[in-house]
Amino acid sequence: MEPASVPVGIIAEFNPFHRGHAALIQAARENGATHVAVVMSGDFVQRGAPALLSKWSRAEMALRCGADAVFELPLPWAMAGAERFALGGVFLLAQLGCRRICFGSECGDVRALQETAALLLSPAFSAQLKLELSRGTGFAAAREAAVRALAGPQAAALLQTPNNTLGIEYLKAAQLLGVELEPFTITRFGAEHHDSAPRGGFASATALREWIQKGEGWESFVPPEAAEILKREIALGACPTDPARMERALLFRLRSMTLAEFASLPDISEGLENRLFAASRKACTLDEWFSLVKTKRYSMARLRRILFSALLGLTAGDAQGLPPYLRLLGLRDSGVLFPRQAKETGNIPVLSHSSDLLHLDKRGRIMVELEGKGSDLHALFLPRPAPCGLNLSHGMVRVRS
């Protein structure tokens, strides 16, 4: 890494890229970042859904709005709960030589987030969590109750909001991996994560996705450079995705699965496979399937992730360990130091061209095949379905500085 450089990392979905994301990149610059790398979800996102538009277009948005390089967070970590999502992202930022991690949070208090992260890694928390779970409480509520019992209501309240929770998981991941990433957080302003109405000139990604689906009212909440890409993709029939286009295919996959196949999916525990198996033989719509399996113990995001894992053939074994490579989605001229640093000091391959696949080990090739399935499936959720094979045939996005 260049002696005077201060490389900063961001973990994101950009689904879609909006003014709040641009503000985060700007804040990283204002606080000393000379280069900004993004580790971004690919064709499927954490809440268990296809991304609104392709990973390539979202990478281009980020590059045109201030990022220097965008790398893909592989599917088993991208479409996962906060803990695994953060672990994969932080690991890849460390491989890139990032010295800081920048993220938004509702509280804006790094010290409070660090203290809570340390608590969640303590033996005392593990014991208290086990006690709370034994009472039949769902994991999120049990975790919050355990923190409240050990550190009081203010610490527990941090776990009630999504960006605080992700920030805590980033800090936990850095401790678990033994990597030095100086955290910097900006207070999330404007609309909250799931707000359906704008606030202070900012709109949530949830609201933006809804407005883009309806074709109205979204443009002023997206930076002009990103808005041009969105309009281009909409005109091409490459945005927005709609899971309803594949509802019967999803139902067929569920009906064709065995009990053992359900048991092998990620996030299956406590006999959930039996509930999924039974519901799949009764449900005639996805709404009906969700109503049959949903309880207070299982969040809708978890069930959606299980649903798409089933369709993709993703198993619990695929999500073990850490990402086996760095996939470069897009690059500005100013971002070349990131893949260069990863090749010099990292311990996983960097993929920037199709020929790089020849150097992958067996696990890496399996992961690329899985990403290919994800890309091919994502293409079928589009207004105008795209051909298969784009995961390998689509070139890296280049933006001139």
- Grouping H, G, I as helix, E, B as strand and the rest as coil, residue 353 is coil
| 71 among annotated binding-site residues | no
On whether the CB atoms of residues 173 and 98 are closer than 8 A, the answer is no
Annotated binding-site residue? 11: yes
Is cis: bond before 349, omega within 30 of 0? no
Q: Name the CA dihedral angle for 272, 276, 277, 278, rounded to a multiple of 10 degrees.
A: 100
Q: Has 347 been labeled as part of a binding site?
A: no
Does 19 belong to an annotated binding site?
yes
Q: What share of the chain is helix, strand, coil (3-state, %, to 5)?
A: 55, 10, 35
Residue 268 assigned ligand-binding role = no
- DSSP-derived 3-state class of residue 332: strand
Is 227 annotated to bind a ligand? Reply is no
Phi-psi region of 389 (alpha: psi -120 to 50; beta: other; left: phi over 0): left
Q: Tell me: is residue 12 an annotated ligand-binding position.
A: yes
CA distance 31 to 261: 48
User: Residues 219-258, buried b or exposed e (16+ Cβ, 10 A)?
Assistant: eebbbebbbebbeebeeeebbbbeeeebeeebbebbeebe
Is 24 assigned to a binding site? yes
Q: Does residue 104 contact residue 163 with C-beta atoms inside 8 Å?
A: yes
Task: Report the alpha-carbon distance of residue 218 to residue 207 in Å, rounded.
Answer: 8
Q: Any idea how long the chain is? A: 401
20 is in an annotated binding site: yes
Residue 22 assigned ligand-binding role: yes
Asked if residue 275 belongs to a known ligand binding site, the reply is no
Which residues carry a binding-site annotation?
A: 11-24, 104, 163, 188
Which residues carry a binding-site annotation for ATP?
A: 11-24, 104, 163, 188
